[in-house]
A and B are shown apart, each in its own frame.
Chain A
Amino acid sequence: MKKIDAIIKPFKLEEVKDALTELGVYGMTVSEVRGFGRQKGHKEAYRGTEYTIEFVPKTKIEVVVSDAMADKVIETIIRTAKTGSIGDGKIFMSNLEGVVRIRTGESGDRAL
């Protein structure tokens, strides 16, 4: 099993979610996060005083999928989350030791 963490632009969330659902991903966790990469920050101004906001708001999607699906999921996220401009985000993939469904106690791929 693979765990995929994708940091994307917040307004792309719906599109990514719809495409992943269509692909057969059953669940995901999303959170509002802040951070910076090469995009660095943006400017905000209150009553004429300017602030550089270094941590930019982003959306993080976490999905866990079988090894076989991982590449397709990553391809789909790239296809739907990409705008081509700086700040599109990153995808992190890692191996996952195990998954357990709390209600039934099932584990492994059956728990996804």
Chain B
Amino acid sequence: MGKHVRRYVMGAMIVAAVMLTAGLVVAQEGVPPTPAPASPAPALKVDTGDTAWMLTSSALVLAMIMPGLALFYGGLVRSKNVLGTITHSLVILCVVSLIWVLWGYSLAFGPDVGGFIGNLEWFGLSGVGGEPHAVYGPTIPHQVFMLFQLMFAAITPALITGAFAERMKFSALLLFSALWVTLIYCPMAHWIWGQGWLAKMGALDFAGGAVVHISSGWAALACALVLGRRQGYGTAQMVPHNLPMTLLGAGLLWFGWFGFNAGSALGANALAASAFLATHTAAAAGGVSWMVAEWLHRGKPTSLGIASGAVAGLATVTPAAGFVGLFSALFIGLAAGAACYGAVVWKSRLGYDDSLDVVGIHGVGGVLGILAAGLLASKAINAAGADGLFFGNPGQFGVQLLTAGVSVVFAFLGTLMILKLVDWTVGLRVAADEEERGLDISQHEERAYSQM
């Protein structure tokens, strides 16, 4: 025990030293090689290159959900729950896609109602066609922007499923996800991306640190608390049944994240390249940082740790990807890997069963990323963005603090209410004997791995 504490302290010191060095470098960072050109009054004309990239990016984000996240989570559960877990991502993709084209897109991005929500003028994509929209990508068809955003809306509730893995009733999952996207995701997307009140205050969230990661991460905490622990938590061997599957999923997440972040430039341009670079750098730094922290703390570097660190780096850099330069991204990745490792270790001491660590990685990473954007954003990287605290604009950090705080509270409390509602109506949790047999057999009458 004493040895472990010593290792932990040593690890923390080394990580802190690395971060400090990176921070100093960041503060001295000069003008980036290719600042994105400031765009004057945008001409509404479809550009084929931009459109091709955005269609590709939309498909890349799809790959993050199915099969990326599905496999990432699928490998982490026990073999009796692997199909149930993969099916969560699959069915959420289907259900949210339908909600999005019917009313979700209109609520999130439709004409503003008091800064809080979009109205239903664009119900069923009415008026959302081939012409570009002045704000949502002046060089791509409006429908392409809608499709790109559809994938974001679908992955966010899928991320939450890691918190209640191995014990959620399937019917409850469907109802919960439909309500959650409508009541939590759409308003949050509207506030920050759909010209809502946080957008008007100048909140920076390039690709979804608050809208995707804080919302899913803090909703996940509500889920873990309300559903309670899995049977046998703390005594039974709840070890991942297939880590190669998880690592394959991690690779696909990393791959798809280029669509997620670089695609959020809404065009095939220098800003997309800069976001791509920041994304990749943070992922790499996150993997190394988690590996070093775990190695020093526990004595062995693990494959799951490196993959988790890369995902933590990706999640954390998401809100900042289009506003920060190389060294800022490196710093963000290093901070993310060590901080999320700490959060995940801390969780097991607190004793709540966030089964696949959605809070520790997305909740913590999301907050860290939103705040990092407030520190490290630079107009030299993205003229349409803002300068952060380190670039002489402390006010931005205040806006980011508010954005993170409001997002955490809204996602957590809103999710609590939805969970109560679903519990009263269809019931959240499978029966004890169903949980014991596993979701695959009890919910679907299927088995992943045949004996024959």
Which residues in A have some Cβ–Cβ distance to B below 8 Å?
44-51, 53
- Contact partners of B237 in chain A: CB under 8 A: 51, 53
Q: Decide if B300 touches A47 in the complex (CB within 8 Å).
A: no
The 7 A-B residue pairs whose C-beta atoms are closest, nearest first, are A48-B345, A49-B348, A47-B344, A51-B239, A45-B298, A51-B237, A46-B304
Instruction: Assess whether B374 is interfacial by the CB under 8 Å rule.
Output: no
Instruction: Assess whether B302 is interfacial by the CB under 8 Å rule.
Output: yes
- Contact partners of B238 in chain A: CB under 8 A: 51
Distance of A7 Cα from B102 Cα, bound (Å): 62
Q: Decide if A46 touches B341 in the complex (CB within 8 Å).
A: no
- Contact partners of B239 in chain A: CB under 8 A: 44, 46, 51, 53
Distance of A48 Cα from B298 Cα, bound (Å): 7
Q: Decide if B341 touches A48 in the complex (CB within 8 Å).
A: yes
Instruction: Assess whether B435 is interfacial by the CB under 8 Å rule.
Output: no
Nearest Cβ on chain B to A70's Cβ, whole angstroms: 33
- Contact partners of A49 in chain B: CB under 8 A: 345, 348
Mark B320-361 against chain A: 1 for CB-CB distance below 8 A, else 0.
000000000000000000000100110010000000010000
Give the most central of A46, A51, A53: most B CB within 10 Å: A46
Residue on B nearest A55 in the bound complex, by CB: B237
Q: Decide if A48 touches B348 in the complex (CB within 8 Å).
A: yes
Decide if the interface of chain A is mainly helix, strand, loop or mixed: strand
Q: Decide if B302 touches A45 in the complex (CB within 8 Å).
A: yes
B295-328 interface with A by 8 A CB criterion: 297-298, 300, 302, 304-305, 308
Q: Decide if B348 touches A46 in the complex (CB within 8 Å).
A: no
The 8 Å CB contact of B308, one of A44, A47, A50, A53, is A47
- Contact partners of A48 in chain B: CB under 8 A: 294, 297-298, 341, 344-345, 348
Decide if the interface of chain B is mainly helix, strand, loop or mixed: helix
The 8 Å CB contact of B304, one of A47, A50, A51, is A47
Nearest Cβ on chain B to A26's Cβ, whole angstroms: 27
- Contact partners of B357 in chain A: CB under 8 A: 47
Distance of A109 Cα from B370 Cα, bound (Å): 77
Mark B230-260 against chain A: 1 for CB-CB distance below 8 A, else 0.
0000000111100000000000000000000
21 contacts between A and B (CB under 8 A): A44-B239, A45-B302, A46-B302, A46-B304, A47-B305, A47-B308, A47-B341, A47-B345, A48-B298, A48-B341, A48-B344, A48-B345, A48-B348, A49-B345, A49-B348, A50-B298, A51-B237, A51-B238, A51-B239, A53-B237, A53-B239
Mark B350-389 against chain A: 1 for CB-CB distance below 8 A, else 0.
0000000100000000000000000000000000000000
- Contact partners of B240 in chain A: CB under 8 A: 46
Residue on B nearest A45 in the bound complex, by CB: B298
- Contact partners of A47 in chain B: CB under 8 A: 304-305, 308, 341, 344-345, 357
- Contact partners of B297 in chain A: CB under 8 A: 48
Nearest Cβ on chain B to A38's Cβ, whole angstroms: 21
Give the most central of A45, A46, A47, A51: most B CB within 10 Å: A47
- Contact partners of A50 in chain B: CB under 8 A: 298
Assuming A45-B300, A47-B341, A47-B344, what are 11 further A-B pairs, CB within 8 angstroms?
A44-B239, A45-B298, A45-B302, A47-B345, A47-B357, A48-B294, A48-B341, A49-B348, A50-B298, A51-B237, A51-B238
Residue on A nearest B238 in the bound complex, by CB: A51
- Contact partners of B345 in chain A: CB under 8 A: 47-49
- Contact partners of B302 in chain A: CB under 8 A: 45-46
- Contact partners of B294 in chain A: CB under 8 A: 48
- Contact partners of A46 in chain B: CB under 8 A: 239-240, 302, 304
- Contact partners of B298 in chain A: CB under 8 A: 45, 48, 50
- Contact partners of A51 in chain B: CB under 8 A: 237-239
Distance of A49 Cα from B308 Cα, bound (Å): 14
Nearest Cβ on chain B to A34's Cβ, whole angstroms: 11
Distance of A50 Cα from B357 Cα, bound (Å): 15
Residue on A nearest B240 in the bound complex, by CB: A46
Nearest Cβ on chain B to A17's Cβ, whole angstroms: 25
Give the most central of A45, A46, A48, A51: most B CB within 10 Å: A48
- Contact partners of A53 in chain B: CB under 8 A: 237, 239
Residue on A nearest B299 in the bound complex, by CB: A45
Nearest Cβ on chain A to B104's Cβ, whole angstroms: 33
Residue on B nearest A44 in the bound complex, by CB: B239
Nearest Cβ on chain B to A72's Cβ, whole angstroms: 36
Nearest Cβ on chain B to A79's Cβ, whole angstroms: 34
Nearest Cβ on chain B to A53's Cβ, whole angstroms: 7
Distance of A53 Cα from B238 Cα, bound (Å): 11
Nearest Cβ on chain A to B447's Cβ, whole angstroms: 20
Residue on B nearest A48 in the bound complex, by CB: B345
Distance of A26 Cα from B297 Cα, bound (Å): 51
Nearest Cβ on chain B to A40's Cβ, whole angstroms: 14
- Contact partners of B305 in chain A: CB under 8 A: 47
Residue on A nearest B342 in the bound complex, by CB: A48
Distance of A45 Cα from B240 Cα, bound (Å): 10
Distance of A51 Cα from B234 Cα, bound (Å): 9
Nearest Cβ on chain B to A32's Cβ, whole angstroms: 14
Nearest Cβ on chain A to B2's Cβ, whole angstroms: 16
Nearest Cβ on chain B to A47's Cβ, whole angstroms: 5
